[in-house]
Structure 1
Amino acid sequence: MSNGTVFVEEGLRGQAAELVRRTEDLGTLDFALVAGDGSRVGVPTDVSAFLVHVLRGLARGSVSVTTLPEELTTTVAAELVGVSRPTLMKLVRNGELPARQVGSHTRLRTEDVLALRRTRAQDRRAALDALRELDEEFEADR
């Protein structure tokens, strides 16, 4: 490791590929850190999901991990939220997403964008759950 950069040798990439291959049918994976004395520390679900993505990228041969800056452009924010840039700007105009102007450019705080992303994901899950309930009701009526 040099300046936070990890150089990956082919052997490590091969190990990651084998691990991904062996676990691809297992569904959700949770990680734990195991000390030499056998004591275990569970890894939070979000961190486990992140590690799975890193392993899959490494197995494919390329992975890049970076942190997000404190402020984002509208293009990057739209990509993170999963909407078009015009839709993101509509959310800003409607006051659903705080933003500030820097000259003629709009900047958004990363934490606000990530909060919106989480809210939208929760809303999608709730809608899917409601659809499942309706489906179960219709199945019961048949």
Structure 2
Amino acid sequence: MSTSIDMPRGARQAQTYLPETDAREEILDFALLLREIEVLRTQNSSRAALVDPQGNARPIPDEIFRILDQVTNALAAGEGITVVPQGVSMTTQQAADFLGISRPTLVRLLEAGDIAYDKPGRHRRVRLGDLIAYQESFRAERRAAMRELQRAGLDARAQVRDPADLKRLSELDAE
């Protein structure tokens, strides 16, 4: 059974939060408190709770606690945070920024079919979920390639029989 809640206006859009300079000490104190709570949570296998103005406590789900901790740490470090619902559509420039690549490189990936996109009018739109899926598959491919290179390097070392060749390989590794 799915439950629907009325979301505030604009809640399905990206929202950026920047730390206010006059609140920095308060944010740092809160970040330290969250770390202390995390230590207690792991030691006691308990959950943090949110207390309303009437004093009623409600447990905070672990996932929300982790998000709160991450957001607080970023704000305490003076960084801004952007909250983006996974189903949101982005422009190609926003998508490129998210992946940390240039817009032309992103467009090549879109046209090659590596990342799904929509083109409702003249401009392409990319869903955040599709970017995350691409990012995860790219990382998995990169890890597999690194493992293969490591295996090939081990195989090459195993085939070296001349001690002089082995010494040269060791010197190359040291560089």
Same-fold call, TM cutoff 0.5? yes
Assess if the C-alpha contact under 8 Å between 1:81 and 1:116 holds in 2.
no
Percent of aligned pairs sharing the same letter: 25
Structure 1 unmatched ranges of 5 or more: 21-30
State the secondary structure of the residue aligned to 1:131: helix
Listed one character per residue, the Cα deviations across residues 4-25 of structure 1 (whole Å, up to 9, x for unaligned) are 97974415426758x99xxxxx
| CA shift in 2, pair 1:60/1:53, >3 Å | same
- Which amino acid in structure 2 is aligned with residue 34 of structure 1? R
Say yes or no: does 1:86 pair with 2:101.
Answer: no
Given the two structures, how large is their TM-score scaled by the length of structure 1? 0.61
Say yes or no: does 1:127 pair with 2:151.
Answer: no
2:45 to 39, 52, 71: 39
How many Å separate the matches in 1 of 2:140 and 2:71?
Answer: 21
State the Cα distance separating 1:107 from its structure 2 match. Answer: 0.5
1:64 to 65, 68, 81: 81
Assess if the C-alpha contact under 8 Å between 1:72 and 1:109 holds in 2.
yes
Assess if the C-alpha contact under 8 Å between 1:100 and 1:106 holds in 2.
yes
What's the counterpart of residue 23 of structure 1? none
- Which amino acid in structure 1 is aligned with residue 153 of structure 2? D
- Which amino acid in structure 1 is aligned with residue 78 of structure 2? G
How many Å separate the matches in 2 of 1:99 and 1:110?
Answer: 10
Bigger CA radius of gyration = 2
What's the counterpart of residue 129 of structure 2? 111
| CA shift in 2, pair 1:50/1:14, >3 Å | closer
| CA shift in 2, pair 1:137/1:85, >3 Å | same
- Which amino acid in structure 1 is aligned with residue 41 of structure 2? V
What's the counterpart of residue 118 of structure 2? 100
Structure 2 unmatched ranges of 5 or more: 1-7, 12-16, 48-61, 161-165, 167-175
State the Cα distance separating 1:34 from its structure 2 match. Answer: 1.2
RMSD across aligned positions (CA): 4.0
